[in-house]
Structure 1
Amino acid sequence: MTQTIPIEFEGATLRARPGETLAATLTAHGVQDFRTTASGQPRGVFCGMGVCQDCLVEVDGVANRRACMTKIEKPISVRRGAHGRPLIAPSPSAGVNVSGAFTGTDEPELREPELLVIGAGPGGLSAALFAQRAGVGVTVLDERSQAGGQYYKQLGVSEQGVLPADAQHRRGAALIDAARKAGVQIIADAPVWGAFEPKEFIATVRGRSIRFRPAACIVAAGAYERGWQVPGWTLPGVMTTGAAQTLWRTSRRLPGQRVLIAGNGPLNLQLAAELLSGGASVAAVVEAAPAPGLGSLDSLLTMGLAAPALVAEGVGYLRTVKRHGVRIVNDTVIESIEKVAGGLSVTLAHVSGATLTQRIEVDVVCLGYGFEPANELLRALGCVHDFDPRRRQLATRRDETGLTSIAGVYALGDCTGLGGAKAALAEGVVVGAAVAAALGHAPAETLMHERARAVNELARQRRFQHALWNVYASPLTAPRERCGDTVICRCEEVTFAQLDAALDEGLSTAGAIKRRTRIGMGRCQGRYCAPVLDEIVCERFGRSRDEMSGFAPRVPVKPVTIAELSGRGSGS
């Protein structure tokens, strides 16, 4: 049995598995509240992927460490994050003198790879592998400590009694291994927080800011889950479907013993099956879409013909859920969540609006109401985007090779508009081939055959995705009641009532409302509130949403320390 690592958490000793995240350790020991907000409200794991910044804790005296991104490799001392503690510990080595005055910066190191790929998920790795095999020198940057992205999350723990890696883990591991053996340089723990025209980026690598100026770049930054702004959505124990899946797939930790999963789409069913395999009790899977009926037969047939293996996976998840007696409640959404003595109490409502009388009590609520593309870097570069009314999101304008409106800038996968991991894998080959050709490399005949197969596979996967979302189509666009004391902005704790007051004052742009209310000024930089705000403002003033109607992307697109900005971080 693997030796555990002792973690001191506010006077108690917890036992952690080597390789798991701090968030997984705390969750496994029943800790749900990780920090306290300015108003005194507790917060815990929400996104599980470093986006929301709600799991900030103090580690060995260093504040604002994201528990979901901190891997356990040695004994550490942890305290809950508390508003009012210093954001940084003043230190001459951090670019700040003992009086707190800024001491100046060093010019960041400049690296000029032939091809820079941002994001080590399925699409990014696929593109990097093809381009490298075609003769291109490729560097991949990824914010996480392990390559694989959200779909190919790698299992970070191994000990007796822990379920081993499954087929999805193994496929991801094979892709990562192939990329490395081909010579792709994969740099982990490297968040990219700046993008400048025409194609220059700045990232934090081992605590230091590094500039990257490639001949060409591929942005494959993925997506993150939308917020579901109902009363109680910020409570500890309420997290995204992806966060719960990350706890299980990377650390083999359950988010709780009694779980309610709600949202729209197939990921929720997969999560239910996975948590059941780990011994959790799933109270229900609450799906916003109606149950498939006769009207769905054409779409189901298209899915079966386009991607039979994916359909088989879905059927397997459904059988697992039904075998355990889990209810699937269609045409229904979460209306509110309350903290009670036994955990969390959830009120449901029909999509049509009628509140259900029965309440469900659980330990954890998982929300999976769709995705937003992580397109901040693409927008910062000036790439043109179009609003997709069906998905309610900005889609990057690209040609058939993935080339954006900016020369030398390519994009693929879910950061351009939701398409799924299988489509991203095929698209990676197509884009990798295009970049190689643009850089003057002639791929071998065998590689061109591979590209031809990828073109056909991409077409199949896109047919599958279109049919899938026909099956999961729902008239639902947003929570029914977006008003009163319900929080719209998690970071700054701005409510819908405060937003309404700003609108009543005549403020008619997202920027003006941001300055008036602080919506979008927090650590997550509007990733959860900005789309909702944009939607509300455009509806109120009769405008159409587009790339100019919401917040403008600004550097840094992710939080960065003064030490990193100054070039005097702790890394080497």
Structure 2
Amino acid sequence: MTARLDSVEPAVRDPIRIDFEGWSIEARAGETVAATLTAHGIRGLRATRTGADRGVFCGMGVCQDCLVEVDGVPNQRACMTSIDRPLRVRRQRHGQALAAEVTALPPATAESLRTERPDVLVIGAGPGGLSAAIAARRAGAAVVVVDERRYPGGQYFKPLAVDGEDVAPPDAQHREGLALVRRALEAGVEIRTGVMVWGAFAPAEFTASDDRGAVRYLPKAAIVATGAYERGWPVPGWQLPGVMTTGAAQTLWRTARRLPGRRVLIAGNGPLNLQLAAELLAGGAEVAAVVESARPGARHLGALVAMAAAAPSLVRDGIRYHWQRMTRGVPMIDGMVVAAIERTAEGLAVTLKNASENGGHRRFEVDALCIGYGFEPSNELLRALGCRHDFDAEQNRLVTRRDGDGRTSVAGVYALGDCTAMGGARVAAADGAVAGYAAAAELGLPLAPALEREREAAKKQGDRHRRFQRALWTLYRAPPYRIEQASDDTIICRCEEVCFGDARAALAEGVIAAGPLKRATRIGMGPCQGRYCRPLLEALLAQGSDRQPDEHSGFAPRVPVKPIAIRDLASASD
């Protein structure tokens, strides 16, 4: 779907009724299946091999835990499937057979796919990707932006997809995102939504799926801005329906004005959890507490001063979130983390413990638990292209090697935003403008003096917001997840239901590399393709040794980097 100026904001539409396993329920046009089902208290969406329930977890199409059957078609992600007509939805059952007509389709080759050759291909329509597209287009390049979601804006802006008298209007963050999308469209950028890029091949070739099937992109320059996804927090019960990431809960509210539950506990590390609390309180939820693993305090005065100097508006936002929390009587619990989760007759029972040592337990009973303990980069495409990466011990993640203009080690490929190194939306937007101008210049498009000044201003803006981020994470520095404390019966691989004990048993038998351990235990073989278990497995392998993860450890990126329909691999020959 190509975004147009008249499709930037949702139109008022009548409610739609969908059938969920014989139960007729009302949905808002434009919201996702996940939002509708969550609003009606339906949490278990998929049955695993053992019959266990899974539900919405990541809320952004990464974990594959919310798979449902829609109008007879299995393996549809509830969090990514928008409602635009009456639908028949069923829980996904494990082990469903493929349709005979699918298995009989002939294979396609890359050369047989329809091919497009834009000057610049931007992958990701968040603040960084859109800013890069605007810059490249202003410099004269023909730019195509592709994004997997239905609406541009990314995980930061999370554009509002519904409208109506009972729907709270867009807030300042929404309006900022809408304005950025309009700027891109008015500049002549082509934005294509509902496009999932699942293949990357050297030097700069990409394969994707859209509403017409598979497509091959051969751009002159590529800008990768695929963002990040939230880390898991593997404790007993973290796989239960009702446990979701902070980002998933925020997506429910910001895109559909739906709450994750009536009584919610928010736990994790960083300011996003505080923002979520303020938003859910505004929506009428009861927030039991905000649990922060760090211990911000008076000793961080220097960090607060640096934050205020670099980005005073963001500090004001933080103060406002705290004020909204305090005026509603929501406690802030510092220095504690989630230790265990149990299912109860009414919802979930969550046990907390001290972050740096055992003891100090507290217990809450809630409808939903929202966890946000940091991020992992969505760098699969960059790694598949062969872009060099280095392990950053402080961030505990791979960081893409780039020069000051965003160039990677692969010619013609630029990267920016949280898929490269954590920096937040403001850094991504600034780096996007720099990379967009650099990509256009490399294509031989001369930059006018006004554009050169804009590029220099964007570099300064990026540096300023990086200073803010460094001070912010000094304030929020917290003890890391302690892999040695994970019990043997805690799940490490959500998809394949493999526990830490299985992994440790394989290690004890001498299986000490990621590939053999994957084959021995099935860790990483599920549809999320190791996105949640890979960092945990690498930590297990590094335990007791001096080895640090690097770009060659863990699981190698393999095409397709995301699950796709078999038909998309055969559509060109069909």
Aligned partners of 1:373 and 1:416 also within 8 Å: yes
- Does residue 1:30 correspond to 2:41, yes or no? yes
Q: Give the whole-Å Cα distance in 2 for the aligned partners of 1:548 and 1:559.
A: 22
Q: Give the whole-Å Cα distance in 2 for the aligned partners of 1:313 and 1:464.
A: 14
Number of the residue aligned with 1:377: 381
Q: Give the whole-Å Cα distance in 1 for the aligned partners of 2:100 and 2:572.
A: 13
Aligned partners of 1:109 and 1:210 also within 8 Å: yes
Number of the residue aligned with 1:81: 92
Go from structure 1 to structure 2 and tell me whether the alpha carbon gap of 1:119 and 1:63 turns closer, same or farther (over 3 Å shift).
same
Q: Give the whole-Å Cα distance in 1 for the aligned partners of 2:449 and 2:238.
A: 53
Q: Give the whole-Å Cα distance in 2 for the aligned partners of 1:207 and 1:244.
A: 31
Number of the residue aligned with 1:354: 358
Aligned partners of 2:113 and 2:572 also within 8 Å: no
Q: Give the whole-Å Cα distance in 2 for the aligned partners of 1:356 and 1:320.
A: 27
Number of the residue aligned with 1:466: 470
- Does residue 1:162 correspond to 2:167, yes or no? yes
Give the CA deviation at 1:415. Answer: 0.2
Q: 2:205 aligns with which of 171, 189, 200?
A: 200
1:298-447 equivalences under 5 Å are 298-447=302-451
Alignment partner of 1:356: what SS?
Answer: coil
Number of the residue aligned with 1:133: 138
Go from structure 1 to structure 2 and tell me whether the alpha carbon gap of 1:512 and 1:479 turns closer, same or farther (over 3 Å shift).
closer
Number of the residue aligned with 2:520: 516
Aligned partners of 1:230 and 1:481 also within 8 Å: no
Number of the residue aligned with 2:294: 289
Q: Deviations over 1:39-92 (max 9, x none)?
A: 110000000000000000000000010000000000010100111222x4332x
Q: 1:246 aligns with which of 251, 257, 267?
A: 251
> What letter corresponds to residue 93 of structure 2 in structure 1?
A
Go from structure 1 to structure 2 and tell me whether the alpha carbon gap of 1:285 and 1:559 turns closer, same or farther (over 3 Å shift).
same
> What letter corresponds to residue 216 of structure 1 in structure 2?
A
> What letter corresponds to residue 77 of structure 1 in structure 2?
R
Alignment partner of 2:156: what SS?
Answer: coil
> What letter corresponds to residue 127 of structure 1 in structure 2?
A
- Does residue 1:7 correspond to 2:12, yes or no? no
TM-score (norm 2): 0.96
Q: Give the whole-Å Cα distance in 1 for the aligned partners of 2:232 and 2:529.
A: 14
> What letter corresponds to residue 3 of structure 1 in structure 2?
D
Give the CA deviation at 1:137. Answer: 0.6
Number of the residue aligned with 2:233: 228
Q: 2:217 aligns with which of 209, 212, 217?
A: 212
Q: 1:104 aligns with which of 85, 104, 107?
A: 107
- Does residue 1:152 correspond to 2:170, yes or no? no
Give the CA deviation at 1:568. Answer: 5.4
Give the CA deviation at 1:443. Answer: 2.1
Go from structure 1 to structure 2 and tell me whether the alpha carbon gap of 1:104 and 1:546 turns closer, same or farther (over 3 Å shift).
closer
Aligned partners of 1:397 and 1:404 also within 8 Å: yes
Q: Give the whole-Å Cα distance in 1 for the aligned partners of 2:13 and 2:408.
A: 48
Number of the residue aligned with 1:555: 559
Number of the residue aligned with 1:64: 75
Alignment partner of 1:150: what SS?
Answer: helix
- Does residue 1:453 correspond to 2:439, yes or no? no
Q: Give the whole-Å Cα distance in 2 for the aligned partners of 1:386 and 1:426.
A: 22
Q: Give the whole-Å Cα distance in 2 for the aligned partners of 1:104 and 1:235.
A: 38
TM-score (norm 1): 0.96
Go from structure 1 to structure 2 and tell me whether the alpha carbon gap of 1:47 and 1:460 turns closer, same or farther (over 3 Å shift).
same
- Does residue 1:258 correspond to 2:263, yes or no? yes
Q: 2:486 aligns with which of 482, 490, 515?
A: 482
> What letter corresponds to residue 196 of structure 1 in structure 2?
F
Is there any run of 5+ residues in structure 1 with no aligned partner, and where? none
Cα root mean square deviation, aligned = 1.3
Q: Give the whole-Å Cα distance in 1 for the aligned partners of 2:484 and 2:160.
A: 38
Alignment partner of 1:460: what SS?
Answer: helix
Q: Deviations over 1:409-452 (max 9, x none)?
A: 10000000110001111111111111111111112222222222
Alignment partner of 1:46: what SS?
Answer: coil
Give the CA deviation at 1:458. Answer: 0.7
Number of the residue aligned with 2:178: 173
Number of the residue aligned with 2:6: none
> What letter corresponds to residue 101 of structure 1 in structure 2?
A
Q: Give the whole-Å Cα distance in 2 for the aligned partners of 1:135 and 1:479.
A: 50
Q: Give the whole-Å Cα distance in 2 for the aligned partners of 1:83 and 1:513.
A: 24
Q: Give the whole-Å Cα distance in 1 for the aligned partners of 2:212 and 2:393.
A: 40
> What letter corresponds to residue 354 of structure 1 in structure 2?
N
Alignment partner of 2:341: what SS?
Answer: strand
Of 302-311 and 100-109, more deviation after overlay is shown by: 100-109
Aligned partners of 2:354 and 2:361 also within 8 Å: no
Number of the residue aligned with 2:100: 90
Number of the residue aligned with 1:187: 192
Q: Deviations over 1:164-209 (max 9, x none)?
A: 0000000000101110111111110001000001110000011411
Q: Give the whole-Å Cα distance in 1 for the aligned partners of 2:357 and 2:559.
A: 41
Alignment partner of 2:553: what SS?
Answer: coil
Aligned partners of 1:288 and 1:476 also within 8 Å: no
Q: Give the whole-Å Cα distance in 1 for the aligned partners of 2:457 and 2:351.
A: 48
Alignment partner of 1:242: what SS?
Answer: helix
Give the CA deviation at 1:520. Answer: 0.5
